[in-house]
Amino acid sequence: MIIAYLRVSTGRQHLANQQDEIERFARLKNLQVDKWVTEVVSGRKQAGERKLGGLLKKLRAGDTLIVTELSRLSRTLTSIMSIMGHCLKHKIVLYSTKDGYAFDDSINSKVLCFAFGLVAEIERNLISMRTKEALALRKAEGKVLGRRKGDCPKMGLLVSNRKEVLKSLRQGESVAGICRRYGISRDTFRRFRLDDCEVARCLEKNIAARKGGRNRT
């Protein structure tokens, strides 16, 4: 069985480009894709928390998995290596079309996987070292470690996408819809609205417009 896996991080991105790329690759290799698996989810989530995890469990020896880039599998090299190792162990062929990689049971694939594994190990060590150095520096400067009380990472998501949020509100999208899209709570949006006068004004206009519509009916 030949499976194509397509992933984007947000609903605003499109899967069509990935599908076109894989279809071109399949034609060149004379392959017929039996199933397309798509999902909209962050690549930072572990494979087991995504459709990809279930897909990997179902694949058997001789099956083929096609992606446009290895980054579609995960955003971390360590996780990518884990998935590649799983495919090699179970004799699942993995193609990455844009990267030009083909991981199968050949010696070349095993050497390439070993090289990736070495890089992943170096990356893990460097991240650990940088984290320890940063913490030691902050401690030496007398700074309090850990997240400050009242910090809200989700609030930062709204702030960084403020223009999109305002555009959605002006188009009449509900607060509930915006909260679902960005994966935040209503309470977080309420704090965002209190800190941003323009957002508050948009909401007031939407509420007034809805009330006016009900009165006319």
Among residues 92, 46, 45, 101, the alpha carbon closest in space to that of 70 is found at: 101
What integer pLDDT is reported at residue 215 of this predicted model?
Answer: 56
What integer pLDDT is reported at residue 152 of this predicted model?
Answer: 60
43 in a domain, yes or no? Answer: yes
CA distance 39 to 7: 5
CA distance 56 to 193: 42
What integer pLDDT is reported at residue 67 of this predicted model?
Answer: 95
Question: Does position 210 have pLDDT exceeding 90, yes or no?
Answer: no
Reported as a single tens digit per residue, the pLDDT across 73-122 is 887 777 888 888 889 889 999 999 988 888 887 877 777 777 776 666 66
Whether residue 70 is found in the same domain as residue 27:
yes
- Phi, psi angle pair for 147, to nearest 5°: -75, 135
What integer pLDDT is reported at residue 35 of this predicted model?
Answer: 95
137 in a domain, yes or no? Answer: no
CA distance 67 to 70: 7
The answer to whether the predicted template modeling score (pTM) of the entire model surpasses 0.75 is no
Could you tell me the pLDDT band of residue 12, with boundaries at 50, 70 and 90? low
Whether residue 165 is found in the same domain as residue 115:
no
143 in a domain, yes or no? Answer: no
Q: Which of 119, 141, 170 is the last residue of a domain?
A: 119
Residues spanned by the domain of 205: 153-216
Question: What value does the mean pLDDT take over residues 175-181?
Answer: 86
Whether residue 8 is found in the same domain as residue 104:
yes
Whether residue 113 is found in the same domain as residue 13:
yes
Whether residue 14 is found in the same domain as residue 103:
yes
Please identify every residue annotated as catalytic. 9
Count the domains in the chain.
2
Question: Does position 68 have pLDDT exceeding 90, yes or no?
Answer: yes
Strand partners, 40: 8
- Which residues touch 42 (CB under 8 Å, ≥6 apart)? 9, 75
Question: Does position 23 have pLDDT exceeding 90, yes or no?
Answer: yes
107 in a domain, yes or no? Answer: yes
What integer pLDDT is reported at residue 143 of this predicted model?
Answer: 61
Question: What value does the mean pLDDT take over residues 4-32?
Answer: 89
Question: Does position 33 have pLDDT exceeding 80, yes or no?
Answer: yes
What integer pLDDT is reported at residue 149 of this predicted model?
Answer: 47
Q: Which residue has the tokens 């206009």?
A: 205
76 in a domain, yes or no? Answer: yes
| Tokens representing residue 18 in the block | 């990935």
What's the whole-number average pLDDT of the chain? 81
Whether residue 177 is found in the same domain as residue 110:
no
42 in a domain, yes or no? Answer: yes
141 in a domain, yes or no? Answer: no
132 in a domain, yes or no? Answer: no
What integer pLDDT is reported at residue 58 of this predicted model?
Answer: 94
Question: Does position 56 have pLDDT exceeding 80, yes or no?
Answer: yes
By three-state DSSP, how is residue 161 classified? coil
> Which is more confident, 58 or 199?
58
What integer pLDDT is reported at residue 21 of this predicted model?
Answer: 94
CA distance 15 to 18: 5
